Amino acid sequence: MGRIPDEIIQRIRDHTDVVDLVGRSVALKRAGRNHKGLCPFHDEKSPSFNVNPDRQTFYCFGCHEGGDVFSFLMKTENLTFAEAARSLARDAGIEVPETGGGPDRGISEQLYTANATLLERFRRELSRPGCPGQAYLERRGLGAEDVERFQIGFAPDAWDTAVATLSAARIPAEIGEKAGLLQRRERGGHYDRLRGRVIFPIHDVRGRVIGFGGRAVAADQEPKYLNTPETPIFRKREALYGFPQALDSIRRAERAVVVEGYFDQIALCRAGVGEALATCGTALTADHARNLRRRTQRAVLLFDGDAAGERAMLRALEALLPSGLRVHAALLPSGDDPDSLLVREGPEVLRALVDAAPAALDVAIERAVASGHDTPEAKADAVESVAPLLALVPSAIERSEYCARLALAVGTEARHVEAAVARAGRGEDPREAVPIAPRRTGPEERNLHQLARSLVEHPSLAIRVPQDELPSLLSGGPVAELVRCLVDAAAAERGVAIPEIETHLSDEARDLLRALAIVDPPLDEAAAAQTVDDTIRWFRDQQLKRREQEITRRLRDPAADEDEKRRLLDERQQLLQRKRQLASVDHASAVPPN
Ligand SMILES: [Zn+2]
């Protein structure tokens, strides 16, 4: 079985209906232009799984699983892409030509073998006397036992260690490239991706090497951390560093502790917390959550105790709660990570911090009321900010208990909180149903969402958005990323195909795209065009307002000299003119065409 030609894939796509296919295993009910049912990828009692026949996609608002007919079959029946394509082709009566090449299933096997072969070499390199990797690990406090346990190795600072090792083992360079170990030279040939780095092998649960993380040993080497890229066997959305080594401890401790870096994970193990795991260069996802939930019900996360750490905790909760995991959050002293804490305070302090980690939802409630809840408005804000998180808790008993705690903390009645949580859970307002950043519902987010939604619905409208102004109009985040990508695609006249766009997006932006693509009801094009124009005008307006405020602030500054003040007054004058212009354009466009 070789590669299946693209035109055959396209024919399979054309001849398969997503509603038929999903309908074989999920009871679907029509709801507007979508079909709804209970999600096959997570446990739920009310349907949040949507199938969109127009786009031939599916998406779950509960666990964020989504994709097309191929990915549905791959996920439900655990098939490779080629296997899923062949199965769909059989159903549709499409013949798939047999081409040359190794068996498709063999590719994964070959990638595992390439990784395992190279790991052996890396480990030999580390044990060489005078290896710079040894000195580095010693400085970080790691001993021979840790090196053995985590099979740490070293990639010499050379261009052809992996090239030669794979070649000697008769593994084709193309396989090395596919495994992310080699990079192709422009003028032919290959070179090593990982050079001059301490190597952490990343295993799947069954103990097979799926990828590598590399830490630079030279002080001036960039980037500090370099992972092998996504490959057919290395899916960063589900991979967890240290998984096979941690399984026993997870069972015994009835919990998993998840951190962000290899050294942090090892620090926890050295402190006696053997159930520690690390993500591999991504934020926690719903896939990680499912992977964990199969082994334990409790996850402890460690965060920096500053504002950024708090935001990271809330995002992690959004990914983990729907799986039914009970999440605890240990907050580290600001500026510390587990590794630095271990070095400074010792293993008992680190272990005690993990053991005492409070329920993350209690932390979220505490933070929400910390900014004040004296006025009716502040109470409402506090409830609204935590309600979307509580809505993600699958257990009705736990959810109701947290509602009671939130009500108590805010000083309101539990029934009000229950109602807010139910509202957030039903996602009646599509904006709230969008899984990304449900907490933020300020005017900026609202406008940004409306803009994104209109563009996803009618991608051709993206040419109305001024591409060169975008960077100054929109701030960061997945929604802005999605808008930028749609606008770029329209400007490049690539024609805007959703599956094509998906490949350019971060995980979060892709989830958002899928969620928006499935939101009911459809907007007609004229209304969407109006929304695009209105939101862009709003963003321009905001930009002007921000600048005006900045000017006013500077004018009041006693340190500003006369020259500067004159310049600022001039600029303010121009801003005013600009605003009048925009307002008159407004007025003109409000006149209906005859
Ligand atoms: Zn789901």
Per-residue pLDDT of the chain (594 residues; tens, 9 = 90+): 457 887 888 888 888 889 988 987 788 888 888 899 989 888 887 888 999 888 889 999 888 888 999 999 888 877 788 888 988 988 888 888 765 444 444 688 899 999 999 999 999 999 999 999 999 999 999 999 999 999 999 999 999 999 999 999 999 999 999 999 999 998 889 999 999 999 999 998 778 899 999 999 998 998 999 999 999 889 888 899 999 899 889 888 989 999 988 999 999 999 999 999 999 988 898 889 988 887 788 999 998 877 888 888 888 999 999 888 999 999 898 888 899 999 999 999 999 999 999 999 999 999 889 877 888 888 888 998 899 999 999 888 999 999 999 999 999 899 989 989 988 887 644 223 333 333 445 677 778 888 888 888 888 888 888 888 887 787 777 788 888 888 887 777 655 566 677 777 877 788 778 777 766 555 678 888 888 888 888 888 888 888 888 888 888 877 778 888 888 888 888 888 877 776 665 444 444 433
Residue 43 Cα to ligand 1 middle (Å): 7
Strand partners, 216: 197
Residue 47 Cα to ligand 1 middle (Å): 9
Residue 309 Cα to ligand 1 middle (Å): 27
Q: CA of 577: how far to CAs of 369, 472, 581, 583, in Å?
A: 43, 20, 6, 10
Clarify whether residues 200 and 251 are in a common domain. Answer: no
CB distance 273 to 351 below 8 Å: yes
Residue 338 is assigned to a structural domain of this protein: yes
Clarify whether residues 400 and 463 are in a common domain. Answer: no
Residue 330 is assigned to a structural domain of this protein: yes
| Of 443, 328, 429, residue with least CA distance to 387 | 429
Per-residue confidence (pLDDT) for residue 2, from 0 to 100? 58
Clarify whether residues 518 and 452 are in a common domain. Answer: yes
Clarify whether residues 305 and 253 are in a common domain. Answer: yes
Residue 171 Cα to ligand 1 middle (Å): 40
Clarify whether residues 459 and 377 are in a common domain. Answer: no
pTM greater than 0.85 (yes/no): no
Residue 168 Cα to ligand 1 middle (Å): 46
Residue 61 Cα to ligand 1 middle (Å): 6
CB distance 268 to 341 below 8 Å: no
Residue 522 is assigned to a structural domain of this protein: yes
Residue 285 Cα to ligand 1 middle (Å): 13
256-259, strands of its sheet edge to edge: 240-241, 276-279, 256-259, 298-304, 326-332
CB distance 197 to 217 below 8 Å: yes
Q: Can you give the residue range of the structural domain that contains 75?
A: 6-92
Q: How far apart are CA 575 and CA 547, in angstroms?
A: 9
Clarify whether residues 116 and 130 are in a common domain. Answer: yes
Residue 251 Cα to ligand 1 middle (Å): 26
Residue 22 Cα to ligand 1 middle (Å): 13
Per-residue confidence (pLDDT) for residue 102, from 0 to 100? 42
Residue 62 Cα to ligand 1 middle (Å): 5
Helix (H) or strand (E) holding 168: helix 161-168
- Given 65, 92, 119, the domain boundary residue is 92
Clarify whether residues 337 and 412 are in a common domain. Answer: no
Residue 232 is assigned to a structural domain of this protein: no
Domain count, the chain: 5
Q: How far apart are CA 273 and CA 258, in angstroms?
A: 11
Preceding peptide of 223 cis, ω within 30°:
yes
| Of 59, 62, 25, 26, residue with least CA distance to 44 | 62
Q: How far apart are CA 461 and CA 448, in angstroms?
A: 15
Helix (H) or strand (E) holding 151: none
Residue 549 Cα to ligand 1 middle (Å): 45
| Of 80, 79, 72, 88, residue with least CA distance to 37 | 72
Residue 389 Cα to ligand 1 middle (Å): 16
Per-residue confidence (pLDDT) for residue 524, from 0 to 100? 78
Write a three-state SS string for 249-290. Answer: HHHHHCCEEEECCHHHHHHHHHCCCCCEEEECCCCCCHHHHH
Residue 60 Cα to ligand 1 middle (Å): 5
Clarify whether residues 211 and 178 are in a common domain. Answer: yes
Clarify whether residues 175 and 194 are in a common domain. Answer: yes
Residue 66 Cα to ligand 1 middle (Å): 9
Per-residue confidence (pLDDT) for residue 451, from 0 to 100? 87
Residue 2 Cα to ligand 1 middle (Å): 33
What percent helix, strand, coil does the chain show, rounded to 5? Answer: 55, 10, 35
Residue 48 Cα to ligand 1 middle (Å): 7
Residue 207 Cα to ligand 1 middle (Å): 28
What is the CATH classification number for the domain harbouring 562?
A: 1.10.860.10
Q: Give the single-character DSSP code of 437.
A: -
